[in-house]
Amino acid sequence: METIDTKQLDAEELVNQKLQELIEFRKDGQDLQEFWGKQFDLGLAWVQFPEGSGGLGLNPKYQLQITEKLRNEGISQQNRIANILGVGMGAPTIMEYGTPEQIQKYLRPMFTAEEIWCQLFSEPGSGSDLASLSTRAVDDGDGYIVNGQKVWTTLGHLAKWGLLVTRTDPDAPKHRGLTFFIVNMESEGVEVRPLRQITGEAEFNEVYFTDTKIPKENILGGLGEGWRVSLATLMNERVAIGGNVRERGSGAPGHLVQLWKDKGLEDPIQKDKLIELWIQQEAVRLTNIRASELREKGTPGPEGSTSKLYEAEINKASYEFGMELLGNDGLLFPRGYALTQPELNFDNDTFGFTDTQSLFLRSRANSIEGGTSEIMRNIIAERVLGLPGEQKLDKDKPWKDIPRS
């Protein structure tokens, strides 16, 4: 005889009650950020977080139920895309390593997208080898003075807050001398410059810190714990990029299907390829659902790297095929190459452009951002398949003694 898990039943009833209250709160013409604020207050922002912090202390699998219900009701959840670096990466990292004061201060305006977040990790000489970074933070008594440069900072021009990893102890080995900060991007000494991409847009930025002071209460995770906090952030990033559960038929395959219909195409070989790409994306989507249902609270494991790798490769292949479907029209670039920067946008999930040519160009970054596909394969090889890792000859050397170009 099949038994019923009363705890699970209670959790489902609680989620359904909260969802019903949220839906009844909706009003015509309502400000989206007001609605998202209510969603946070009801514990439906990150359902696995504790009560009072945007959650209900439940298994994260219930977030799927919430997202699906709101989607069916036609209620936007674009805050998760518009502020993906905050909602997808910053929030779980702050929940795991932050103080009660930090959790109280940052999470609600992050979820409502009233305060946009960015990530300040990569440097001109430190990308995949993040631990070699050289941005310095020096203790001056009541805070830290930061000097250095970061690159590839998505939406840095819109951000109120940044997730910043710095070097506080150059005498320690490179992984041990790092400290993680939350930095106010409006602080004196912070300069954000656009990095123009092949789309003509400047979604990415380079950020310069010149004697920027950060108070000690903005340390996240403790002095010298920057590498541990950075790894958690990166694992959350990979889930945010590749592990989100999309609506069926959305994203790149959905774009291809619409393009096929718009152009009235009938070629059976191309149709077969279109179906194959759709199936691959659906397999990733279903895998993400299964991973989300099985995932316990806390930092994600290597499954985020698997999803991120396949999502990136399928995205690139899909938009390459889209260019093939366009034929000679693919040589045109309707948007033009005027320099623009994305603004806060709750209307779509493509950073403001929807034409195939721009999406094809933008997809080139998918196998680089959030960890290159090569790094993802290394993580899968070492942490999933149990293969030996690469030798790290500089692992125990003081950072200051490691040669740098």
pLDDT digits (tens, 9 = 90+) for 170-225: 999 999 999 999 999 999 999 999 999 888 889 899 999 999 999 999 999 999 99
- Is the predicted pLDDT of residue 2 greater than 60, yes or no? no
Same fold, 6-111 and 231-384: no
Q: Burial, 229: exposed, middle or buried (Cβ in 10 Å; 0-12, 13-18, 19+)?
A: buried
Residue tagged 């989620």 (tokens): 15
- Is beta strand 161-167 parallel, antiparallel or unpaired with respect to 117-120? parallel
Region 271-277 average pLDDT: 95
Helices (H) and strands (E) in the chain, counts: 13, 7
**What type of residue is 352?**
G
Lowest mean pLDDT among 213-227, 255-269, 279-293, 337-351: 337-351
Sequential DSSP letters for 365-401? GGGTTTS-HHHHHHHIIIIIS-PPPPP-TTTTSBGGG
C-alpha pair distances (Å), 188 with each of 118, 208, 210: 17, 11, 8
Q: Is the Cα dihedral 242, 247, 253, 258 positive or negative?
A: negative
Contact criterion met (CB below 8 Å) for 203 and 154: yes
- Is the predicted pLDDT of residue 327 greater than 90, yes or no? yes
Catalytic entry in 123, 201, 237, 311? 237
Alpha carbon distance 122, 119 (integer Å): 9
Contact criterion met (CB below 8 Å) for 76 and 346: yes
**6-111 CATH fold:** Butyryl-Coa Dehydrogenase, subunit A; domain 1 (1.10.540)
Mean pLDDT comparison of 80-84, 177-181, 232-236, 237-241, highest-scoring range: 177-181
36 or 235, greater pLDDT: 36
C-alpha pair distances (Å), 162 with each of 22, 68, 99, 156, 192: 30, 30, 17, 8, 12
Contact criterion met (CB below 8 Å) for 47 and 17: no
CATH 3.40.430.10 fits 231-384, yes or no: no
C-alpha pair distances (Å), 63 with each of 29, 68, 325, 351, 403: 25, 8, 36, 24, 47
- Is the predicted pLDDT of residue 301 greater than 80, yes or no? no
Domain ranges of the chain: 6-111, 117-227, 231-384
Count of Cβ atoms closer than 10 Å to residue 206 Cβ? 18
Catalytic site includes residue 237: yes
- Is the predicted pLDDT of residue 292 greater than 80, yes or no? no
Contact criterion met (CB below 8 Å) for 214 and 137: yes
Alpha carbon distance 321, 277 (integer Å): 9
104-136 confidence digits (pLDDT tens): 999 999 999 999 999 999 999 898 889 999 999
CATH fourth-level superfamily of 117-227: Butyryl-CoA Dehydrogenase, subunit A, domain 2 (2.40.110.10)
Alpha carbon distance 88, 66 (integer Å): 16
344 or 97, greater pLDDT: 97
- At 251, list the tokens: 């994203």
Q: Quick one: residue 349, left, alpha or beta (phi over 0 = left, psi -120 to 50 = alpha)?
A: alpha
Q: Burial, 308: exposed, middle or buried (Cβ in 10 Å; 0-12, 13-18, 19+)?
A: buried
